[in-house]
Structure 1
Amino acid sequence: MSDSYYRHKTILITGGAQGIGLGMAYRFAQEGATVIMADKDGEAGQQAEQWLQEQGHQAVFILCDVSREEEVQALLRQVGEKYKSLDALINNAGIADPFQGPLQELDMAAFDRVLTVNLRGPLLCAKNALPLLQLAEHPAILNISSTRAFMSEPDTFAYSASKGGLEALTHSLAVSLARERVRVNAIAPGWIEVGDWKKQSEKYAPQHTKEDSEQHPVGRVGQPSDIAEAALFLCSDKAGFITGQSITIDGGMTVKMIYA
Structure 2
Amino acid sequence: MTAAHEQRVALITGAARGIGKGVAASLLRAGWTVVLTDIDELEGQEAAQELARLGTVEFLVMDVADEASVQAAVEQLEGDFGRLDGLVNNAGLADPDTGPLEQLSLERWNRLLAVNLTGAFLVSRQCLPLLREGGAIVNIASTRSLQSEVNTEAYAASKGGLVALTHAMAVSLGPNIRVNAVSPGWIDTRPDAVQDSDPLRQVDHEQHAVGRVGQPEDIGELVAFLLSPAAGFITGQNMVADGGMSRQMIYRE
Q: TM tier, shorter chain?
A: over 0.9
Correspondence for 1:210: 202
Where 2:240 maps in the other structure, the secondary structure is strand
What letter corresponds to residue 173 of structure 1 in structure 2? M
Aligned twin of 2:110: 112
Residues in 1 aligned to 2:225 and 2:86: alpha-carbon distance in whole angstroms: 12
Q: Distance in 1 between matches of 2:49 and 2:226?
A: 27
The residue aligned with 2:56 is 58
CA distance in 2, matches of 1:187, 1:50: 27
Equivalent pairs, count: 246
Counting aligned pairs with the same residue, the percent is 48
1:255 and 2:250 aligned: no
* 1:120 counterpart letter in structure 2: T
- 3-state SS, counterpart of residue 191 of structure 2: helix
CA distance in 2, matches of 1:117, 1:204: 27
Moved over 2 A (4+): 203-206
- Contact 2:29–2:54 (Cα < 8 Å) also in 1: no
Q: Please tell me the residue identity of whatever aligns with 1:165.
A: G
TM-score (ref. length: structure 2): 0.94
1:15-68 superposed Cα distances (whole Å, 9 cap, x missing partner): 011100001111111222110001001121010111122x15200110010000
Separation of aligned partners in 2, 1:169 and 1:160? 14
Measure the CA separation in 2 of the matches of 1:257 and 1:123. 35
Q: Which runs of 5+ in 1 are unaligned?
A: 1-6, 198-202
Q: Deviations over 1:199-242 (max 9, x none)?
A: xxxx7235211110101111100001110111111000110000
Task: Report the residue type matching 2:38 in the other structure.
Answer: D
User: Does the aligned pair in 1 maintain the 2:25–2:54 contact within 8 Å?
Assistant: no
Matches within 5 A, 1:120-199: 120-135=118-133, 138-179=134-175, 181-196=176-191
Cα displacement string for residues 71-128 of structure 1 (whole angstroms, at most 9, x for unaligned residues): 1111110111111110000000000000011112112211110000000000001100
Cα distance change on mapping 1:29 and 1:154 into 2, 3 Å: same
User: Per the alignment, do residues 117 and 218 of structure 1 end up closer, same or farther by CA in structure 2, a change over 3 Å counting?
Assistant: same
Distance 1:204 1:102 in 2: 30
Counterpart amino acid of 1:72?
V
> 1:104 and 1:169 mapped to 2: Cα distance?
27
2:45 aligns with 46
For 1:56 and 1:258, how far apart are their aligned partners in 2?
A: 41
TM-score, with normalisation over the residues of structure 1? 0.92
Bigger Cα displacement from structure 2, 24-33 vs 94-103: 24-33
- After superposing the two structures, state which structure 1 stretch, 99-108 or 139-148, moved more: 99-108
Deviations 1:138-193 (A, max 9, x none): 400000000000000000011100000000000000001015x0000000000000
Matched, 1:231 2:223: yes
Which residue number in structure 1 is paired with residue 23 of structure 2? 24
**2:28/2:54 contact within 8 Å kept:** no
